[in-house]
Structure 1
């Protein structure tokens, strides 16, 4: 039985508007089972050290009543700050002191429904209209007409949102149901994900499919479900900014919206909340990690993401996040770092709308109705839901507008004086004309209802919808949410009555008044600009972003695509003299905590690589054979073709013989598989394990808060590898030899003889760790640099593709160069110290 848990004020880290945990956070008995079992509802209960389980609806149980949760509570109790969270948007004035950014090519990648796309369209219009950026929306093809009608560019991301919504309604959490597995839904969704990943990459570098205008992205804005964002940004070394309507960053303030928390009174809620984010991300990565890594290798020429780093990659890289909800409803958690902002809901400009005569007549004659609609949700049995809604309306005696939506509610029914079945209608116009709104809890629909002061009842299906339902209820602006599968006629009628209560109306109007002081889109634009890298402008055309670096001797000049094209056309420089400008390089390396776990992890990874290589040695040639056979052209059987002499006499003698290219394909595939099998153990023994040991030793002093040796410059090739190895050796030997004396002296001042002993102990550990890391790193880091140089030299497809796309966009931009050619030439010659080429 779930019940609300009152939190003592000492550990309250939720917003001031929340007086209790959301209803999906439950209190579990202290003597919870520690075995695998199933309850009467079919929920799988798995309790282990952390206590992770899976419910029948696919959501994840995180049972922090287990011993680990209690220990973590005691450990982290001292970390609770005594600061109240701010209820106002953050001030960006300090970060906005820098000059305005150049006019960028921005691709906005969005996966989801119309409600997910619409806020980003509002953002894109502001970026284009107010700041001159070129904005491309990359999302599902179903929304192309909607996006292009706003004047923004469009690129199809792939995937079918209708099919996706239907699947998610059947599987509202992370774990698919047995029925979905049996029906083959998982394989189809994995293929859809692979298609969307390829669409993400192509949206960054390919021309517009209609206008044929070249496009290479200078920055990426994305929501997390689009999945390809960070990998595309890494491949292009460009800025990435995540924007989302659902909390995706670890916090102690509330749990992950896809997690069901269970914990005892001995476990701090803050600890359970923080753990839930890691658990959810880990389980998601287990389902998609292989697809992502295969795509990285085959399409982006990037090395695979280590299994340990995939789930928390965005946090490790400190990628800027902006969350698109009102701080009046959910204030920014106190424990989020500076690169995470909360800006307010995104609202587009209210569209011009003239209602049909029948709708206008319904609104003008009779009492003010309520709104009921579930938008892009695809429901299995829309007739049953329609019947439930109509019965609840009859019981409460009110009038209602029912949106048909993607499920086509009331398909065979006609409107009457009390019920009007509604087609597509802008919520901005409609919600100001209703008493209350009942919907699925999409962030955009929730925001629009609250902005208009409409009491809101949410019937969540999946994702962040339960989160928003609980936030609305905690603010008093509506009843507690009822999940769709638990909805009854009586429950819906009771919720309608509560929505019409004057106290609920007053609370909704209070939230609306606070929201009207916010400007979510403008604040998000400022947040995006504030987090952009510095010095990313062209040095001869300052309003354009740099895309190339021109190097001659010690001179480095940042050039835009257009400036470089002008200089190449004027024969002042050659394209071979240009190297890509990388405003935001991403360096992804496994995080090590200590030498023992580091060696074990690297050893297991090496063993896994050897096993995979052995399997691929047999499977890859077979797959190549199947692919070649499936692509053979059909043999013609006409008399005319039979009279033609065969191009290959051997095929005439043996019609079933494989085509000439098949043998070459099989030989090449077998050679690659054999090479991979031979290199895997060598790479593990000579590079991965020594490097893991080095990084583990470097991390060891951080256990006693010594971070002076924990980091080094990124290794990108053999030169940087040799430099880091030498610097690490010198620094490790020096610090290892001196730290013990410094620690003993500092300890003597604090604790006398006892402090001296502690300091010497720290010195012994530091000497072994730092000196050992320096010695092993003298070999490991140069080897890593050589490996990266070899990898880059043998994986040039992506670099050549991007280079060609940038040069192509530069040539295309010359059509509108106007009179800036002379300005570019003169500016470049002033910056260049040497003579003309």
Structure 2
């Protein structure tokens, strides 16, 4: 990590996706930078201001999910259709990848460590191979095969599978993921980099100790670490990017002071092909529940003008979850990793209405922890179902469970733990004394999934 003059080489974190994907990576980058390691965030241009505002260096990577979702809102309606989503993103990644090598080589120039997150992982790994640099994964969802924890896509089927069947499902899903990424990585990125393409079955089955290392940015209190994971797969805790300078507007403050705590309803970076109709259904559910609500329109999942609509509802575009959620009695959201983390930390119950991807999985995790009723079906959502779920969040048992979970999550420091793992694995410059301490802390016993 150091050059001959003793100056630490930058760490480049590659990440693409929505707000919930990027913000944790920026938080991790800030933690690494506080520890003395210069950090670059390599992501889409719509997050340039966020990255630079956090004091980190920004490098562009063609991968704007916001533009993609706003251009074709029907994607949201196909979100839980794995085949349709695979086709969409296979084509999308291949198109974006025509720019990735030039952008990736610029972002990795002079770097000492590359970190790959989510869909950018194979790009970062390929660049690391081309440049002879160390590489590590940092993920927000559990992807390491386990006999104990079934794959995320099976979250809605049953809580446990026979061990052999669970492992077989992981291997099958790896093959499917590789078919989505193969045109971009083997067809474009690796040939342009001058490195050999991955075999027909992809890069996931013959990984050595170093190449298989991954740090997970979620809490063991929401999802206990499976006991059969290897030591190369560790759970650090959530990576929160806070905005302590935010204050409610006068209008929002007046609304909050006018009655009991409202529920939050918002779907972040998700979009809807019929935002008006979906919003109408949400408002009907709120009225039937008898509760007050703050609705965030976000990227377009809901539709409404900013301000109080009546004494029961208040619309805004967005607000930082770390500041807003503690003012709420519950949160209705899509179940993205970032929003799930924010609700858990705030100590409030959730009602999850999944759109796609990992969201049904996090809904099941919160339900199993007793802090959320079962997930609601977005395409068949009824006002009565939403009203019943909202009433359920106000029951003492679920409120108490959410409070306890919030206390446990707030006691963690996921960013600091992630830095310790990187140090313990020898990927960061660290003194012998600090490394010994880091190793002890990094491999401290954690709860295991039953």
User: Secondary structure of 2:379's match?
Assistant: helix
- 1:406 alignment partner in structure 2: 299
**2:214 touches 2:232 (CA, 8 Å); kept in 1?**
yes
Task: Tell me how far apart the structure 1 counterparts of residues 97 and 156 of structure 2 sit (CA, whole Å).
Answer: 29
**1:261 touches 1:276 (CA, 8 Å); kept in 2?**
no
Is 1:199 paired with 2:86?
no
- 1:169 alignment partner in structure 2: 76
Return the match for 2:182 from 275, 289, 292.
289
- 1:443 alignment partner in structure 2: 337
Between 1 and 2, higher relative CO (CA 8 Å, sep ≥ 6) is seen in: 2
Is 1:459 paired with 2:363?
no
Q: Shift of the alpha carbon at 1:533?
A: 4.8
Is 1:142 paired with 2:46?
yes
- 2:264 alignment partner in structure 1: 371
TM-score by length of 2: 0.86
User: Secondary structure of 1:341's match?
Assistant: strand
Return the match for 2:33 from 93, 110, 128.
128
Task: Tell me how far apart the structure 2 counterparts of residues 197 and 493 of structure 1 sit (CA, whole Å).
Answer: 49
**1:198 touches 1:295 (CA, 8 Å); kept in 2?**
no
Q: Shift of the alpha carbon at 1:383?
A: 0.7
- 1:729 alignment partner in structure 2: none
Task: Tell me how far apart the structure 2 counterparts of residues 230 and 526 of structure 1 sit (CA, whole Å).
Answer: 21
User: Secondary structure of 2:225's match?
Assistant: coil
**2:130 touches 2:193 (CA, 8 Å); kept in 1?**
yes
For residues 597-632 of structure 1, give each alpha carbon's deviation from its aligned partner in whole angstroms, at most 9, with x where no partner exists.
xxxxxxxxxxxxxxxxxxxxxxxxxxxxxxxxxxxx
**2:15 touches 2:21 (CA, 8 Å); kept in 1?**
yes
User: Secondary structure of 2:215's match?
Assistant: strand
User: Secondary structure of 2:111's match?
Assistant: coil
Task: Tell me how far apart the structure 2 counterparts of residues 362 and 502 of structure 1 sit (CA, whole Å).
Answer: 25
Task: Tell me how far apart the structure 1 counterparts of residues 74 and 41 of structure 2 sit (CA, whole Å).
Answer: 24
Task: Tell me how far apart the structure 2 counterparts of residues 313 and 374 of structure 1 sit (CA, whole Å).
Answer: 38
Return the match for 1:306 from 183, 199, 209.
199
Task: Tell me how far apart the structure 2 counterparts of residues 257 and 199 of structure 1 sit (CA, whole Å).
Answer: 31
Task: Tell me how far apart the structure 2 counterparts of residues 501 and 228 of structure 1 sit (CA, whole Å).
Answer: 47
**2:269 touches 2:301 (CA, 8 Å); kept in 1?**
no
Is 1:424 paired with 2:318?
yes
**1:159 touches 1:196 (CA, 8 Å); kept in 2?**
no
TM-score by length of 1: 0.48
- 1:229 alignment partner in structure 2: 124
Task: Tell me how far apart the structure 2 counterparts of residues 386 and 342 of structure 1 sit (CA, whole Å).
Answer: 37
User: Secondary structure of 1:220's match?
Assistant: strand
- 1:5 alignment partner in structure 2: none
Task: Tell me how far apart the structure 1 counterparts of residues 53 and 204 of structure 2 sit (CA, whole Å).
Answer: 37
Q: Shift of the alpha carbon at 1:200?
A: 3.1
Is 1:488 paired with 2:393?
no
- 2:434 alignment partner in structure 1: none
Task: Tell me how far apart the structure 1 counterparts of residues 377 and 301 of structure 2 sit (CA, whole Å).
Answer: 20
Q: 1:142 to 1:499 in 2, by over 3 A?
A: same
**1:113 touches 1:376 (CA, 8 Å); kept in 2?**
yes
**2:261 touches 2:328 (CA, 8 Å); kept in 1?**
yes
Task: Tell me how far apart the structure 2 counterparts of residues 432 and 469 of structure 1 sit (CA, whole Å).
Answer: 20
- 1:703 alignment partner in structure 2: none
Task: Tell me how far apart the structure 2 counterparts of residues 450 and 245 of structure 1 sit (CA, whole Å).
Answer: 15
Q: Shift of the alpha carbon at 1:199?
A: 3.2
Question: Which stretch shows the higher mean deviation, 413-422 or 475-484?
Answer: 413-422
**2:175 touches 2:202 (CA, 8 Å); kept in 1?**
no
Return the match for 1:190 from 90, 94, 99.
94
Return the match for 1:113 from 15, 18, 23.
18
Return the match for 1:507 from 401, 406, 409.
401
Rg larger in structure: 1
**1:259 touches 1:276 (CA, 8 Å); kept in 2?**
no
Q: Shift of the alpha carbon at 1:461?
A: 1.2
**1:296 touches 1:303 (CA, 8 Å); kept in 2?**
no
Aligned length: 419
- 1:331 alignment partner in structure 2: 224
Task: Tell me how far apart the structure 2 counterparts of residues 382 and 261 of structure 1 sit (CA, whole Å).
Answer: 26
Task: Tell me how far apart the structure 2 counterparts of residues 223 and 174 of structure 1 sit (CA, whole Å).
Answer: 23
Q: Shift of the alpha carbon at 1:253?
A: 1.8
- 2:440 alignment partner in structure 1: none
Task: Tell me how far apart the structure 2 counterparts of residues 506 and 339 of structure 1 sit (CA, whole Å).
Answer: 35
Is 1:526 paired with 2:430?
no
Gaps of 5+ in 2: 1-5, 431-450
Task: Tell me how far apart the structure 2 counterparts of residues 237 and 294 of structure 1 sit (CA, whole Å).
Answer: 21
For residues 155-192 of structure 1, give each alpha carbon's deviation from its aligned partner in whole angstroms, at most 9, with x where no partner exists.
111122114445752442574439x97xx886445312
Q: 1:315 to 1:250 in 2, by over 3 A?
A: farther
**2:294 touches 2:315 (CA, 8 Å); kept in 1?**
yes
For residues 436-479 of structure 1, give each alpha carbon's deviation from its aligned partner in whole angstroms, at most 9, with x where no partner exists.
00101111111111111101111111111111100000000110
**2:135 touches 2:211 (CA, 8 Å); kept in 1?**
no
**2:17 touches 2:63 (CA, 8 Å); kept in 1?**
no
Task: Tell me how far apart the structure 2 counterparts of residues 499 and 420 of structure 1 sit (CA, whole Å).
Answer: 20
**1:110 touches 1:222 (CA, 8 Å); kept in 2?**
yes
User: Secondary structure of 2:137's match?
Assistant: strand
Q: 1:186 to 1:135 in 2, by over 3 A?
A: closer
Q: Shift of the alpha carbon at 1:350?
A: 4.1
**2:13 touches 2:40 (CA, 8 Å); kept in 1?**
yes
User: Secondary structure of 2:150's match?
Assistant: coil
- 1:85 alignment partner in structure 2: none
Q: 1:261 to 1:392 in 2, by over 3 A?
A: closer
Task: Tell me how far apart the structure 2 counterparts of residues 272 and 316 of structure 1 sit (CA, whole Å).
Answer: 24
**1:437 touches 1:456 (CA, 8 Å); kept in 2?**
yes
Return the match for 1:104 from 1, 6, 9.
9
- 2:56 alignment partner in structure 1: 152
For residues 335-364 of structure 1, give each alpha carbon's deviation from its aligned partner in whole angstroms, at most 9, with x where no partner exists.
111111101111234421122110111111
For residues 519-549 of structure 1, give each alpha carbon's deviation from its aligned partner in whole angstroms, at most 9, with x where no partner exists.
1111011112211359x79xxxxxxxxxxxx
- 2:448 alignment partner in structure 1: none
**1:168 touches 1:462 (CA, 8 Å); kept in 2?**
no
User: Secondary structure of 2:104's match?
Assistant: helix
Gaps of 5+ in 1: 1-100, 206-215, 538-837
User: Secondary structure of 1:258's match?
Assistant: helix
Task: Tell me how far apart the structure 1 counterparts of residues 216 and 201 of structure 2 sit (CA, whole Å).
Answer: 26
Q: 1:442 to 1:260 in 2, by over 3 A?
A: closer
- 2:369 alignment partner in structure 1: 475
Q: 1:306 to 1:491 in 2, by over 3 A?
A: same
- 1:392 alignment partner in structure 2: 285
